[in-house]
Homo-oligomer: A and B are copies of this chain.
Amino acid sequence: MFSSNFTIYLEKYSALAEKNHKELPSNHEFMPHLAYDSVIFGFNGTQLKILVLEYHNTGLFALPGGFVKYTENLEDAVERGLKERTGLDQIYLEQFHTFGDLSRSNPETMGRILEANDYKPDDGHWLLHRFVSVAYYALINYDEVEPRPDELSDSISWYAIDELPGLIMDHGLIVEKALNVLKDNLEKKLVGMNLLPSKFTMKQLQQVYEAVLGEKLRRTTFQRKMLGLDILVRHEKLYQGKAHKAPYLYSFR
């Protein structure tokens, strides 16, 4: 939690506030104790990556997240946050777990992030309270996104899932669980469809599967299985300028 919407919200407020002790959002708009975090997956052609943000002046890394308005559905809040972060609408989104341990909330970390950005929260401020966080994963087309660094408090960029920096609080655990659920859903949901451009080669599709599962697959078996599922449409060949047979392009039908 604690980013995306939140930072944008802070930005709005800080414009109205004085320089050296900016004003924090009150809890009139957002539900207290409730947050969401999103694990945003993308595939760069080789590696499975997720979007991670870094809070300014802290060296702290976190998942993009935010809060839920009193007047919006939980899922709409998450979509709003994703739109703000990625510019994309109609993102494939799946809720996978809600994290509600007492130990996951850490006022010290929150305070450090706020103070590094010149906010001076009261001791009892709602942002320093306990939060239960509903976690979602999103699948997006890596090439269509220009992640938006936030001039106020953080930058955001892609990290390969096996080269993640240490994340604050329980965010490492959240990523781990997201990846496990993604693996489980690989066969039954449209994971490949949402991580690839609309037309792709069989090899690219296989690479997505291999990146998610973390293991190599047999080429001929994979191809036979995919074609047998009757979910692919074959298009023209893709001439890549390589000295070998050109692969067909496919799309999901």
29 contacts between A and B (CB under 8 A): A31-B33, A31-B130, A31-B132, A32-B32, A32-B33, A33-B33, A33-B34, A34-B34, A34-B132, A68-B100, A68-B132, A70-B130, A71-B102, A72-B102, A73-B100, A73-B101, A73-B102, A73-B103, A74-B98, A74-B100, A74-B101, A74-B132, A75-B101, A95-B97, A95-B98, A98-B98, A98-B134, A100-B134, A132-B134
Q: What B residues does A33 contact at CB under 8 A? A: 31-34
* Contact mask for chain A residues 106-132; partner B; CB cutoff 8 A; 1 contact, 0 none: 000000000000000000000000101
Min Cβ gap A72→B in Å is 7
Contact assessment for B100 and A75 in the assembled complex, using a CB-CB cutoff below 8 Å? yes
**What B residues does A32 contact at CB under 8 A?**
32-33
What 1/0 mask marks residues of chain A from 64 to 90 whose CB sits below 8 Å from any chain B CB? 000010111111000000000000000
**Smallest Cβ distance from A211 to chain B, in angstroms?**
22
Name the B residues within 8 Å of A97 (CB-CB): 95
Docked CA distance A61–B100 (Å) = 27
Residue among A32, A72, A74, A98 having the largest count of chain B Cβ atoms under 10 Å: A98
**Shortest beta-carbon distance from A175 to chain B in Å:** 18
- Residue on B nearest A96 in the bound complex, by CB: B97
- Complex Cα distance, B98 from A101, in Å, reads 15
- Kindly provide the distance from the CB of A183 to the nearest chain B CB, expressed in whole angstroms: 12
